[in-house]
Amino acid sequence: MLRFLIKRMLLGTLTLFAVSLVAFGMFFMLPRDAVATMCEKNCNAERLERMRDELGLNDPLLDQYTGYVKGVFVGRDLGSAQGGWCDVPCLGYSYINNEEVSDIFARVIPVTLSIVIPAAILWLGLGIGLGMLSALKRGTVFDRLAIGFSLTGASMQLYFVGGILLIIFVYTLKILPPPRYVSLWESPLDWAAGLVLAWVALAFLFSAVYARLSRAQMLETLAEDYVRTARAKGLTKSKAYGRHALRAAITPIVTIAGLDVGGALGGTVITETTFGIQGLGRTAVEAVRLGDLSTIMATVLISAVFIVVANIVVDLLYAVIDPRVRLG
Amino acid sequence: MRTRAALAAAGAVALVVALSACSENTNQESGVDTDRKASGVIATDPKDSLGPAPEVPGAVKGGTFTILRETKISHLDPQRIYNFVGLNTAPLYSRFLTTWKDDGKGHVTLVGDLAETPGVNVNNDCKVWEFKIKSGVKFEDGSPITSKEIAYGIARSFNPDLAGGPTYIQEWLADTAAFDTKWDFKANKTSLPPGLTTPDDKTIRFEFAKPHCDLPFAASLPSTAPLPPAKDTGVDLDGAPFASGPYKLTKNTAGVELVFEKNEHWDPATDPVRHQYPDKFVWQFGPDATAQTDRIIADGTDAATLGWNGVATSRVAKVSGDAGLKGRTLLEPTPSANRLTINTQRVTDLAVRQALNYAIDREGLIKSLGGDYVASPMTTLMPPSTLGFKSFDVYPAGKNGDIDKAKATLAGKTPELVLAISDDSGDQEIGTQLKNNLEKAGFKITVRTTPADSKLDDTKKKDNPWDLYLDSWAADWPSGAAILPVLFDGRSIKAEGNSNTSFINNDAINAEFDRVLALDPAKQADEWAKIDERIMKELAPAVPLYADVAFYIHGTKVGGLYIDSIFGYPAFTRAFVKQ
């Protein structure tokens, strides 16, 4: 187990290194001029050139990259125009937001986590629950309703569902405050009230896929010989289905959930835009729109970290769920 | 000076919109006051610069005034502020050497803010200026504001680390555009830039190598805000400015929220323009224009709220069509003027340029832009909000252009012209509209699409390969001096970075610029209007198109809000929350 973990983490680090190299090369070779965005008016060519020099933008790309990596692990001095010493993990300085990129992410990551984690719990619980139940009650009215519900969800778009929820609960009934992010530690109630619509909207959309998937998986597993054997040897329904069938059925769902959660963390831009909340997704899109290279770079890296971590967690969960899987 | 396109590139929102609870929307279906004229002066009576500002009718104290904006404000450090949201937020927490008394309807007077008057032109040659500082002006910690702190504020604007703000005063003092190499702030923190002196605590003196009659105007920008040297935190001042105005920043959750609360050391008796009605001003960042508009229409918890990004394009029809919302909107033309620039190096035939002016269909163009709530037609180079503005139309052709007159002016010629349009989807439509419009008059128009990122820089290059392109200009103060010489003085043409994108260079006009620039600023206003008409008549270097229109919506409890006449954005100096 430990050996597996170390191996995966090393592999993950290598992946991140490769991502950083490719991303740095791609973005910093673009004909974007960071200095021009810093001083968009009244800057003459001579002044711009001096700023480029001061910020090291005229150095060879490889030197810039090693400087960047060094900043991430030991911190570095960015010069007085960029706020001086930049602590570990230094991800550079954003000329658009006029602050260290790590400060931006320290602010927006909790926002995105606050949207995605509760929403994921909701959609997994709802989706898998519905799917399992309709598999067990196959052909009943409940099954049909559940399938109908999931079909509806799967065919909707977030900005549509979100918009409807906003119109009903915020603009018309006025029983919820306009969506906004308040820190969980500051006020758990405001935190939940400000984000609950985003959770519900995301859960409605995502749970649909899980309901359909888990229903199909469960039906397949229930038809397996070993389940019949388990029942035949006298196990109760709940033990046979719960302990044996469910475990087998859930493995592929965990795989997809890992990818979805990882992906959602790096890409909640539509959710954030619909609800007017500033998280990782919108920060990334803004950065791309305005050519804020350090922020784009950091977004790519952080999204990659999310995906890598989510995949390691999924692999670990496999071992827990499926006794046939041995890590090592 | 700013061009609107540059701002858009920097993330500032380009479309302006506005509105006021007490706005008198008089004429026209849309209610945009297109005949609005600016009138204004530089105050000569020191009484004009005295506080307190007259009470706003119906204003009450208390409450929290909330402003929603999609993205955070890029700079709060007064020396670095140069976008509209910053320019109109800064007066809440900062005071400047001079400021504008403004009724929101184009009637403006330049008065002293921290200074007792808007400046004394010591030798009447605009080379030496003196400002006397008022007594009783204080920072948020109660310490007095003297000429020393104002001079330090100006000195730190020489710091290359603090880029972004206006550079007029620095360039005038240093007498070169490379002001930060001429005087190195970091090496001389305890001294002052060349030409800037503080003979005593009450006096600040500017001595320029060349005449700069616009100093009283330039001194109204936030870069003249005071700062004690001990409070200078360099780039970190952006997160925590040191207040001299009626409010101070008490909470800054970067990118999420700003909370301003009353500064008890601000004395209304010293301030001719600001009030301190609400207990708090809160900026919340995140919701886009659509979400802002929907929230404010719903009112509820957003009754004391303004949406800074204006009425969303998708909600204009709804808001303008709902009589119940009319009292909650602000609709005004702004000083942001848009023109179709003609590259006179390539289009050398005056008749062709005049024919373009006859042919233009402004109504059609405005329709393709989004209608009367987005743009208001213009036939002059200077926008109606300029001091001394006179309405004229050298090429009268009605709302939709006079195709026959244009054809007659062309006298059988069919000029082939290249129109450069950026690759933004909005501009594409405008390109098609202009092509169809002009081709009716016999022009052959080739539309060249060019990346939006670089279009502005490319049109500023002297050897650019285009005949026509769209340009916009928003002056930093409503004087022709900040518009016409900048856009049409040919002696300043360089290889790139030109604001004179028509590339005209006419000796007679250049001489006129020199003559008027040397006049006392109060006497210049009428002269600029004459030069405007003369340029259009003799050179026709552009087709004036439209002024951006401001269209905003606010909650039912918002009072005292107006669209300022200088920048064309909502101003908060008189705002209050109805109880």
Lowest-confidence segment of A28-32, A301-305, B135-139 by average pLDDT: A28-32
Structure-block tokens of residue A96? 């658009």
Q: Do B254 and A43 touch (CB under 8 A)?
A: no
Strand order in the sheet with B416-422: B375-377, B542-553, B329-342, B468-473, B416-422, B444-450
Q: Closest to A107 (Cβ–Cβ): which among B167, B254, B297?
A: B254
Contact at CB, B72 and A97, closer than 8 angstroms: yes
| Residue B287 in contact with partner chain A when CB distance is under 8 A | yes
The answer to whether residue A51 scores a pLDDT higher than 80 is: no
Q: Looking at A223-268, list the stretches that DSSP marks H as alpha helix, in order from N- to C-terminal side.
A: 225-232, 237-239, 246-266
Q: How many CB atoms lie within 10 A of CB B340?
A: 20
Tokens matching residue A138: 């196959």
Distance CA B403, CA B414 (A): 13
**Residue B394 DSSP code:** S
Residue B305 CA to residue B525 CA, distance in Å, equals 37
Contact A45 B496 (CB under 8 A): yes
Q: Do A277 and B286 count as a contact with CB atoms less than 8 A apart?
A: yes
What is the reported pLDDT for A31? 62
Q: Which residues neighbour B372 within 8 Å (Cβ) at sequence distance 6 or greater?
A: B28, B29, B30, B32, B366, B549
Pick from B169, B171, B164, B131: nearest CA to B148: B131
B63 vs B58: CA distance, rounded Å: 14
Q: Is A238 exposed, middle or buried, given 0-12, 13-18 or 19+ CB atoms closer than 10 A? A: exposed
CB-based contact A38 B288, cutoff 8 Å = no
**Which A residues, 105 through 124, put their C-beta within 8 Å of a C-beta on chain B?**
107-108
Q: How far apart are CA B145 and CA A40, in angstroms?
A: 31
Is the distance from CB of B348 to CB of B417 less than 8 angstroms? no
For A103, nearest residue in chain B (alpha carbons) = B254
Residues of B in contact with A97 (CB under 8 A): 72, 74, 254-255
- For A251-301, write each residue's pLDDT tens digit: 888 888 888 887 787 668 889 988 988 888 888 888 887 778 888 889 888
Q: Tell me which of A30, A39, A41, A295 to substitute to probe the interface with B (most B C-beta atoms closer than 10 Å).
A: A41
Residue type, B24: E
Task: Please give the interface size between A and B, counted as residue pairs whose CB atoms are below 8 Å apart.
Answer: 114
Q: Residue B565 has which token pair?
A: 């006449």
Q: From the CA of A283, how many Å to the nearest CA of chain B?
A: 10
Question: Which of B517, B518, B481, B485 lies closest to B504, judged by CA?
Answer: B485
Asked if B11's CB is within 8 angstroms of A44's CB, the reply is: no
Residues 455-474 of B with CB under 8 A from A: none
Q: Using the 8-state DSSP alphabet, how is residue B426 labeled?
A: H
Tokens of B223: 């870069």
- Which SS3 state, helix, strand or coil, does residue B554 take? strand
Q: Is the peptide bond preceding residue B335 cis, with omega within 30 degrees of 0?
A: no
Per-residue pLDDT tens listing for chain B (579 residues): 444 433 333 333 222 223 223 333 333 344 566 555 556 678 888 899 998 999 999 999 999 999 999 888 989 999 999 889 999 999 999 999 999 999 888 788 999 999 999 999 999 999 999 999 999 999 999 999 999 999 999 999 999 888 888 989 999 999 988 888 899 999 999 999 999 999 999 999 999 999 999 999 999 999 999 999 999 999 899 999 999 999 999 999 888 899 999 999 999 999 999 999 999 999 999 888 999 999 999 988 899 999 999 999 889 999 999 999 989 999 998 999 999 999 999 999 999 999 999 999 999 999 999 889 999 999 999 998 888 889 999 999 999 999 999 999 999 999 999 999 988 777 888 999 999 999 999 999 999 998 876 777 788 889 999 999 999 999 999 999 999 999 999 998 888 888 899 999 999 999 999 999 988 887 898 999 999 999 999 999 999 999 999 999 999 999 999 999 999 999 999 999 998
User: B301 in contact with A at a CB cutoff of 8 Å?
Assistant: yes
The reply to whether A52 touches chain B by the CB within 8 Å rule is no
Among candidates B471, B484, B482, which has minimal Cα distance to B532?
B484
Q: Of A52 and B12, which is predicted with more confidence?
A: A52
Q: Which tokens go with B426?
A: 């909005």
Could you report the predicted ipTM of this complex, rounded to two decimals?
0.81
For residue B440, which of B326, B355, B350, B550 has the smallest C-alpha distance? B355
Cβ pair B385, B474 in contact under 8 A: no
Per-residue confidence (pLDDT) for residue B306, from 0 to 100: 97
Chain A residues in contact with B166 (beta carbon < 8 A) = 41-42
B88, B570 in Cβ contact below 8 A? yes
Phi, psi (5° rounding) for residue B110? -80, 125
pLDDT of residue B279: 98
Q: B570: which DSSP letter?
A: E
- From the list B236, B298, B496, which residue is nearest A83 (CB)? B236
For chain B, the first-to-last Cα distance in angstroms comes to: 40
CB nearest to B160's CB, from A51, A98, A291: A51
Q: Is B296 on the interface with A (CB under 8 A)?
A: no
